[in-house]
Structure formats: C-alpha cells, structure tokens
Structure 1
Amino acid sequence: MLEVKGDALDGAFEAVLNDEKIAALEADVVALRALMAARNVEGQRPALDGVKGVDIDPQRAAFVDRYLRRGQEAGVELKSFSGASGPVGGYAVPREIDALIEATLKAVSPIRAIANVVKTGTAGYRKLVTTGGIASGWASETGARAETATPTFAEIAPPGGELFANPAASQAMLDDAAFDVEGWLAREIAREFAAAEGAAFVNGNGTNRPKGFLTYPVTAEADTVRAFGTLQYVASGAAGAFASSGAADRLIDLVQALKASYRQGAAFVMNSKTLAGIRKLKTSDGQFLWQPGLAGSAPATLLGYPVVEAEDMPDVAADSLSVAFGNFANGYVVAERNETSILRDPYSNKPFVHFYAVKRIGGAVANSEAIKVMKFAVS
C-alpha cells in the first residue's frame, strides 16, 4: 500500500511540472510572435531617428506620420503663430528634428558657428553691457578713500523678425513609406534658413531681420575714444586693394588692434574671392601668410588665427569692408526662439504640399570692441 501511494504522489508532481512547462512554453511562443510582429513592422517602415528599440516617441510619430504625411492634427502640439490671432497657428517641431535643423544650421552658417547664440522664450531679449570701467586708486592704511566713478550701462536689444521657409513635396512622396520625411524637411529648412540668416548677420539692416555687423558705423578711432556701438577699421593702404608693399603689415595691424583678451578665440572672416587674394601674400622671406590645417579637422590659419569663409562678405573694392577680425562670441549675439513652427498647406499648390516653417531670430553687435574690420582705402 505504501508503495502504491508513493507512485501516485510522484505522478501528481509530474503532472504539475508538466503543466508549468506547458505554460512556460506558451508564454515563450507568445513573446516570440510579438517579437516577430514588431520586426515585420520595422521592416515595412524604417524607424525614426532617435528611436530606441521598438519604442516610438508618440509626439514624434504623431508629427511625422499623422501631420506631415496625412495632415491629421490629432495629437500634435499646437503653437500660435500670432499673439493677435489665436486660431491662426502652426505646429511645434519635435525636439529631435529641431535639434537636427540647428546642427545643420551651425555647420552651414559660418557666423552662427562663431557667434554667441542665445535661446530665448520671448522675442523681447535684452542685454546690458558696461561701457566704462570702475575707477580705482591707491591709499595708505589709514588714508581716506575717495568715491570712485560708477560704470555706465547700455542696453542691447537685437532687432529681428520671423525667418521662414516654404519647401514643398508631392503627396505621392509623402505617401511613400520609404521616404524619410523628417530628414528631408530638416535639410530643406536648414538650407533656406542658413542662406537667409547668413546674409542678415553680415549685411542685415535691422528691419524685420537681424542687424548685420557691417552695417554699424565705422571709424579709425581707438577703443578708448570711440563711441559705443561703432566699429574700428584699419586701412589697407590703397583704394580697393592692399598697399603695393607691406600688405602683411596691414593685416598684423588689424590683429593687434584687437585687445589681447579678445584675441584668444578670434578669427578672420572674409569671402572666398578675398581669401584667394590673401592666400597669395608672402612675407619678405617668401613664406605664405596663409597656412593650411595640419590635421583634417584643423582649420586653415592666417597669421595663426582661423579663417572663416562667409560668402556674404563683400568683395574687395574701393572703401569696402571686406575683411573682419574679431572674437564674435563676445562681439555678436544671435537671439532666437527655441521652437520652429510648421504649418502644413496642401491647398495652395496642388498636388504639392507646402510646409511653411517659421522661427524668430534676431542679431546685433553686443561689444563693438571685440570686432575689427579692414577698410580697403588709403586711410
């Protein structure tokens, strides 16, 4: 009898173990089927940039798949375009796409890459700058201390406006599952933004756009006597050209006109045509002033300072300001709103869908002592 009971108990244990094994196998099958389904979905449409594993950012998916491709507004964050008209609005670009636009802008727009870029929450950005130092003096241990002079402040309010781009894509392209909508949109917006803002940072008149640093008044006066907001220039020695002798000396004068504290991090700015002429200049012993970068990522240098090519700088001509040298991180400020807004327009130009992108950008010279220019004139 005892042996019979032991056999029955062992059989009961085996049945329980078999049930647990079957349940575990069923769970493995369900998990495997879910994994295969997820891989099939991934194979049908490439994952968006920044996606981790199979988890998709809901905001980003709603923006790309619903709004950009099909124009569905459900689940997309709304941003008002105008403070005066609330119903007229666009849609905020997800942070990953906006960051991609900014990274491309920095790579394309040379002034943005070397300027001080400030992210603002409103369009009314203000910056206070001291225009005079604090006077000091010496005194004995018990001597009287006279009152020192107080510094004066100037307010910098970078003028700006709404920079917009309006790229278009056909609806057939948007319906194509293999078409990278966000990559195409980021490239198109960045290309158009970079061209427009690059010109404004150099030559903008300050009306509904940034004020370019070349539009500020210039004088040959030194920093100690020059009015605030006026740039100092160094003459090239000849009208529309360098002097027949001593061209290198003029460039050295331009460098040394900048205070030593600003020369750390300073750079030359000119266009390609001007740089082509300067690259041919030699010292008295036959050495070129321009030196190529020793490494692949190292920039070319002129008198030991990097050269930034900005095609919006003017060509060399009589009285032109074709070469700039300065620390633009201290000298020029770019104020921009954090978000880029998108308005989808499938109606104006059928069968194309336009994406009207808007971003508020301002710019101004913040410190006129940190930027020097060369004037191609006799004096």
Structure 2
Amino acid sequence: MDVTTPDQPTTTATPIDPAEASFDIVARQESTEAAVADLRSDLDRVKARIGRAARPALGTGDEAAPEVKGFVDGYLRRGATQEIKSITAGVPGDGGYAVPRQIDAAIARQLTEISPIRAIAQVVQTGSADYRKLVTLGGTASGWVSENAGRPETATPNFSEIAPPTGELYANPAASQAMLDDAGFDLESWLASEIGQEFARAEGAAFVNGSGVNQPRGFLAAPMTEEFDEDRPFGTLQYIASGDADGFGAEPDAMLIDLVHSLKAGHRQGASFVMNSATLAEVRKLKTANGAFLWQPGMVDGQPDRLLGYPVVEAEDMPDIAAGTCPIAFGNFRHGYLIAERSATQVLRDPFTNKPFVHFYATKRVGGQVLDSNAIKLLKIAV
C-alpha cells in the first residue's frame, strides 16, 4: 500500500569555515587566560591582606577607617585641628570632639567587663541628659460577663515617672609627647583602656551606693522596708532580715531560700545574686542541715557559679557583712535597675596644662535609678 506524505522543507547544513573556527578557538583561549590572570591577581591581593593582618598594628588602627586614622594621628598625637574627624552628633562647641566609632566601642567593652552592674542592668542610650520613663503600677483591670450583659468601665492603671539622676563622668589620663611621637605606641588601645578603667571604677560604685546628687542613685540608696510588695510604696525595696545582729544566723540556708522566694516568679527568671568577694567567701562555706554545700561551682568553662541554682555576680562595692548592712542583693536587675547614658564619649586634648604631658579629658553623662522596686530584694544583717 502506497502512503503519500506532504512535502516537508529540506534542512541543509551550512558548512563551517575552518578559518572562522580557528579564530573562535583563539578567542576562547584568550578569554580563559584573562580569567586566570584575574584570579591570580585576586589571590595576590588576598595574600597581601593576610600578611598585613598578621603583622602587629603600630597604633594607627584599621587602614579601612580613615576617620579613626585622622583622629588618632592628627588630633590625639599632634593636636592638628585640620585633621579632626567626627562621626557623631557632637561638635567642638559642646566642649570636645566625639570619639570615633571604633574607640567608643572599645570603651563600652571595657565597661561591660569591669563594671558588673552594667552587665546585668537595663542600659538605654539617650540623646540628652534629661531621660524619663513611665511605669504602670498594676495592669488594666478586667472582668467576666455573660453574652448579653453590659460591659461596665474598668479601672485605669496608675503611672509613675522614673527620671534617673545623672552626672558627668570624666577621666583625665595623660601621656608624654615622647610617647605620642613613638609610632610603636598603640595610642588607641591605651586611651580606651585608661578611660574604661576610670569610668568602670566610678560608675560601679555609683550604681550600688550613689547618692543621686550629680551622679546615679544606687539601689542601696533607695528606701528600704520589711513590708511585702502589696503593702510598701513604689520605689521602696524590701529587705529580709538575717535573724542575727552580726551575721547570717543559725539557719543560713532557710534565710537565703526566703530571700529567693520573696521575689515574684516572673522576676526570678533571669535573677542573680550580687555580693562582694568577702561575703562570697563566707557564703561558700555555708551548708544545709544534711551537710551539703549551698554553693555550686560552674561545671562548664564560662558558666557562672551558682547559689541555690542562681548565678552569683561579684561587685566589690557591695558592703561587707556587718550589723545594719545589706551585703547580699538578689533580683532581676534588668527589670529592677535602669542605666541611662549618652552614647557619645567626648575627648578634649589638652597639651598646655601640664607640659610636657598631654592630657586627654574624656567625659560621658551617665544616670541610674531603681526601675521596679519589686524586682530587687536585699538581705539585711539584723534581728
């Protein structure tokens, strides 16, 4: 049987010119060689960068941060005003020049490592010294109703205002001009370390015992009473008496348990003990009635030691064990204590007051106050 199919177009292969094919091969080879050259150039730049990173810095800081290099080399070392760089809102007319971002970050790290209260409290950055915060005293009231019943108005919560007292924290380290002229002297690290040490020492004491006059008001400077949370006024801390006029009493384990459970369950999530090293030495010797130590050392590297399951923070500004003192605090300091500070540290270079030394006058405004008086409890040495 014959089958007739419609005519279909015929495809004819175009012959490839050998000359054009050879030119195409050469072009691809040249493109490949160019790509390899680019890769080798990138590798050389990476090796050079690694080599520079392996060498010790000579005080000028990161090469990719020109504002830091100009500030350190131009202003801190030589006092040249044409090299001043500023990356914050601070201006020379405000009494100094804002520290470059990298140096200010280094100071903040020093403060966190040295000042223990700063590490566990609530810290807010402010644009001015006048910082205020509203706190609600109890939540909004509610009620139960049936499907068709009316909805009467509920009570409105009361508010209280928190305005942490602030003061100007300052440090005034000095360096000789010969040190500044030495290229091997790491001025940036030295300045951050000196300022950090001075700031941490001063603010650590103020956060615990500060009077509130031109400085933060410490939590031990707040009013104290034995009344429970529902009975005492806002801003007043509750203390638990030790049961002995000079020490911890006959049942120290029961005393510490009472201290822990005087704090509401919501605040106990994230709570910690705060005491100095002398008090800690006595606490580590305490035992329960069956002879077990109350102290639990950290089992993992980097994990804090614990007392009754809660971490212990050593703050040397806490008082020693003595009649009438509060050597131990327990609470959630992130809920209970507020630190308000201006974010920019300012530095003023003074080469004239004490020649041949150059002083670096650094200032920073810091405030602090008890935020929630229900979140911090105190142990008082009293009957």
* TM-score for the superposition, normalised by structure 1: 0.84
Secondary structure of the 1:265 match is coil
Contact persistence 2:60–2:73 (CA under 8 A): no
**What is the CA-CA distance between 1:192 and the residue it aligns to?**
0.5
* Counterpart-to-counterpart distance in 2, 1:49 and 1:173: 11
Q: How does 1:122-201 map to 2 (within 5 A)?
A: 122-201=128-207
For residue 263 of structure 2, what is the amino acid of its counterpart? L
Determine the structure 2 residue equivalent to 1:290: 295
* Counterpart-to-counterpart distance in 1, 2:352 and 2:88: 20
**What is the CA-CA distance between 1:77 and the residue it aligns to?**
3.7
Q: 1:237 aligns with which of 239, 243, 250?
A: 243
* Counterpart-to-counterpart distance in 1, 2:269 and 2:88: 42
Contact persistence 1:134–1:150 (CA under 8 A): yes
Q: 1:76 aligns with which of 59, 76, 84?
A: 84
For residue 142 of structure 2, what is the amino acid of its counterpart? S
* Counterpart-to-counterpart distance in 2, 1:82 and 1:60: 16
**What is the CA-CA distance between 1:146 and the residue it aligns to?**
2.2
Q: 2:361 aligns with which of 349, 356, 363?
A: 356
For residue 342 of structure 1, what is the amino acid of its counterpart? V
For residue 189 of structure 2, what is the amino acid of its counterpart? G
For residue 223 of structure 1, what is the amino acid of its counterpart? D
Contact persistence 1:79–1:90 (CA under 8 A): no
- Structure of higher CA gyration radius: 2
Q: How does 1:298-377 map to 2 (within 5 A)?
A: 298-377=303-382
Determine the structure 1 residue equivalent to 2:6: none
**What is the CA-CA distance between 1:159 and the residue it aligns to?**
0.6
Secondary structure of the 2:293 match is coil
CA offsets 1:241-291 (integer angstroms, 9 cap, x no match): 111x21110100000000000001000001111111111000111111011
Q: 1:63 aligns with which of 48, 71, 94?
A: 71
* Counterpart-to-counterpart distance in 1, 2:165 and 2:269: 28
Determine the structure 2 residue equivalent to 1:216: 222
Per the alignment, do residues 126 and 348 of structure 1 end up closer, same or farther by CA in structure 2, a change over 3 Å counting? same
Contact persistence 2:90–2:97 (CA under 8 A): no
CA offsets 1:48-102 (integer angstroms, 9 cap, x no match): 78966xx43221011100111111121324699999xx74621111111110110
Determine the structure 2 residue equivalent to 1:256: 261
Identity, % of aligned positions = 62
Contact persistence 2:88–2:344 (CA under 8 A): no
Q: Which runs of 5+ in 1 are unaligned?
A: 1-23
For residue 221 of structure 2, what is the amino acid of its counterpart? T
Per the alignment, do residues 349 and 50 of structure 1 end up closer, same or farther by CA in structure 2, a change over 3 Å counting? closer
* Counterpart-to-counterpart distance in 2, 1:284 and 1:348: 64
For residue 58 of structure 1, what is the amino acid of its counterpart? P
Q: Which runs of 5+ in 2 are unaligned?
A: 1-33
**What is the CA-CA distance between 1:145 and the residue it aligns to?**
2.3
For residue 265 of structure 1, what is the amino acid of its counterpart? G
* TM-score for the superposition, normalised by structure 2: 0.83
Contact persistence 1:79–1:89 (CA under 8 A): no
Contact persistence 2:165–2:217 (CA under 8 A): yes
**What is the CA-CA distance between 1:133 and the residue it aligns to?**
2.2
After superposing on structure 2, the runs of 4+ consecutive aligned residues of structure 1 that deviate more than 4 Å are 45-52, 78-83
**What is the CA-CA distance between 1:361 and the residue it aligns to?**
0.5
Secondary structure of the 1:242 match is coil
